[in-house]
Amino acid sequence: MKVVILAGGLGTRLGEETDLRPKPMVEIGGKPILWHIMKGYSHFGFNEFVILLGYKGYLIKEYFANYFLHQGDITIDLLDNKIEVHRNKSEPWKVTLLETGLQAQTGGRLLAARDYLDGEDFMLTYGDGVANVDITALVAHHNQHQALVTMTTVQPEARFGMVNTDEKGYINDFREKPPGDLGWINGGFMVCRTGVFDYLKDGEATIFEGKPLENIARDGRLLNWQHRGFWKCMDTLRDKNQLNQLWDGGTAQWKTWA
């Protein structure tokens, strides 16, 4: 089963980070967040990826085209125009990189992947979110039902803490607002049957999270997979800094690989 990753958005809320590179190439622990997502899937044995490009997609192409140079030691022979790679640390990945246009919406980008999926079920996620989702269990859950799409839902952390006040109006305690107060949301990490393409009727302008998913749900074909473990979307600089702190501190729960 192939993994389709949406990696074409502008990422405007990350400020200067995305002036020079696409959001999936913003680094966590010295590696693009896209790499972290792919490592998570690879841990469960899924090594074929279709990455849907848009904004500055050429940088993602260059990253994978030069993957050996990024990962290993090299000797460059300028006289004979040769490059020798030493101690190669490559991954067992097959990566298809598709240009889907700068203005395409998520559903429009997904349409571009149709001819590369061999008519088989596929997984779909976003290029800016990491989690410790049990992918094997997710796929098994999908296969046990007749749903068109199985969506991982998560309970996001609140952005602000809470205060407790005594009877005189004095604040006496601070605490983080617990996850769950905001309900369940789409966390990506979906499994889809190919019939999902029948719902993408507006071409490039199709917003997958709009009418398509709404109609799939209305038809009783959208299955929920609740994930209560770690999940975080890198939407802002604050998110990026938090993820880096977790990685640097050795507490990156999404690191399911050895």
| Per-residue confidence in pLDDT tens, the chain, 258 aa | 999 999 998 877 788 888 889 999 999 999 999 999 999 999 999 999 999 999 999 999 999 998 887 777 889 999 999 888 887 777 999 999 999 999 999 999 999 999 999 999 999 999 999 999 999 999 999 999 999 999 999 998 776 566 677 777 766 776 665 555 568 899 999 999 999 999 998 889 999 999 999 999 999 999 999 999 999 999 999 999 999 999 999 999 999 998
What string of DSSP letters covers 38-63? HHHHHHTT--EEEEEE-TTHHHHHHH
Return the structure tokens found at 54: 């848009």
Nearest-angstrom CA–CA distance, 33 and 215: 31
Contact 73, 28 (CB under 8 A): no
Closest CA to 106 of 240, 3, 223, 6: 6
In the chain, where the domains are located? 2-156+184-248
Sequence letter at residue 6:
L
Neighbours of 171 (CB within 10 A): 9
Alpha-carbon torsion, ordered 64, 66, 71, 75, to 10 deg: 170
Counting every residue written for the chain, the total comes to 258
Distances (CA, A) of 216 to 103, 141, 198, 212: 24, 18, 10, 6
Name the CATH topology of 2-156+184-248: Spore Coat Polysaccharide Biosynthesis Protein SpsA; Chain A (3.90.550)
pLDDT of residue 202: 86
Token pair, residue 59, equals: 């940088």
Closest Cα to residue 60, out of 114, 123, 8, 106? 8
Q: Are 225 and 153 in contact (CB under 8 A)?
A: yes
Residue 80 backbone zone (phi > 0: left; psi -120 to 50: alpha; other: beta): alpha
Amino acid, single-letter form, for residue 217? A
Which phi and psi (to 5°) does residue 126 adopt? Answer: -100, 150
Pairing of strands 222-226, 149-154: parallel
With contact defined as beta carbons under 8 Å apart, do 154 and 131 qualify? yes
What does the pLDDT read at residue 234? 95
Give the DSSP H/E element, type plus range, for residue 191: strand 190-192
pTM for the structure as a whole: 0.89
